[in-house]
Each structure stands twice: as structure tokens, then as C-alpha cells.
Amino acid sequence: MDRPFVLYLIRHLETAANRERRYVGWTNVPVSASAGPAPFCPDVVWGSDLLRCRQTAALLFPGRDFYPASDFRECHFGDWEMKSYDELKEDVRYRSWIDDPASVRPPGGETFGEMAARADRGLSELRALSGIGSAAVVSHGGPLRHILMRLAPEEKPFFDWRVPAGSVHELQWNSRKDWEEGARCTFISAAPITENGTL
């Protein structure tokens, strides 16, 4: 009989740039919070190869192998990297992007549509792993919102998903086959990760 499957979607711990509400895409910034170890132990731990995700994974899953995958990186904000809304609000291109981030590209960056395609590719690679009953993905707000939009039982728009730094969403499928085929999960829960790693 096919066994259930569990996916943990974890947003990296807070950074100083998060507190300052800056656009942090591919810029490597360290976490400024602490946590761990996590109260759950997935069979595999994957995630973005950027520093803040690698640090979060090391804190939550000490001693575990971490598979870094660039497909789970945040959206590349190009010339707007590390800038805030106040610094960009007068830029006409920025206003266009705010209105349509799925298809408007930040100068030197990528669209949300391109980020979503990367996240889908990363999920496909993860689904191809055999013999596992659970996995964790440590990533960023953008990719995680996209994955939730695709896989959660409740259909909600991208920006309606709340994914704060240091949060975990647990998604469960009744069977591994449903997970492999990309079906929506049957159960979801969300919680913050505290400094001692508890939920």
C-alpha cells in the first residue's frame, strides 16, 4: 500500500534586510536570527543555494546533508536588489512591475513567471527522488508562495499567502503517488519556528 507523503516548506530565518523591508533576491545576506533544531526530521533537506537558506538549514537540521538547488532561489530583482519601496516608488518601471510582476521584468532581473518556472523545475526534481516519505525545502517568500499556490488544498492568489521569515508550512498527501503526480495536498498547517526550533 502506498504511504503518505509530507512536504515541509520553510522560509529562511530573518535577515537585517528583511527587517528593513528591502528587496533581497540573489544577494547573499546572512540570517540575523537563530533557531533549531527543528522538531521534525524529513528524509531529505533541499533548498535554495543562497547563504540565508543554507544557514537556516544548518540551524534547523544540524549534521544533515543539505542539497542546494538554485531553482529554489528568490526572484532576481536586478537593479532593485537591496532597495526599499521608498527608494523605488517614483520609478515608472517599478510601478509597472508592482502592477504585473508575473510578466514585467525588473531591469537586469527576472519576472515572477520565470521564478515560478524555476520553482516548478525544482519540485519536479524533488518528486523524482525514490524511497522517501518526507522532504523539507528551505527557500524564500516568492518561491514558497508559488508552491503553496500550486499545491495547497485551498486555492488563493500568490500575494494572499502569508510566508513570514522563519515560518514552516507542512503539507500532507494521502499517498506518495498523489505527491509525485502533482496533486494538491489534503492537509496543510502553518507555524512560526521559535529560537529553540519548536513550532
- DSSP output for 166-193: TEEEEEEES-HHHHHTTPPPSEEEEEE-
**Calpha distance 79→107 (Å, rounded):** 6
Which domains are delineated in the chain? 5-170 (3.40.50.1240)
What was the pLDDT predicted at 112?
93
Grid coordinates standing for 156? Answer: 488563493
This prediction's pTM: 0.94
Q: Where are the alpha helices (DSSP H) in 76-133?
A: 85-88, 92-99, 112-127
Max Cα-Cα span within the chain? 58
Please give the helix or strand (H or E) that residue 57 lies within, else none. helix 51-60
Nearest by Cα to 140 from 70, 44, 42: 70
What was the pLDDT predicted at 199?
61
Strand partners, 118: none
- Spatial neighbors of 64 by CB under 8 A, at least 6 apart, are 45, 57
Q: Could you list the pLDDT tens digit for every one of the 199 residues in the chain?
A: 578 999 999 999 999 999 999 999 999 999 999 898 999 999 999 999 999 999 999 999 999 999 999 999 999 999 999 999 999 999 999 999 999 988 899 999 999 999 999 999 999 999 999 899 999 999 999 999 999 999 999 999 998 999 999 999 999 999 999 999 999 999 999 988 866 666 6
What was the pLDDT predicted at 2?
76
Grid coordinates standing for 113? Answer: 513567471
What was the pLDDT predicted at 179?
96
What was the pLDDT predicted at 102?
85
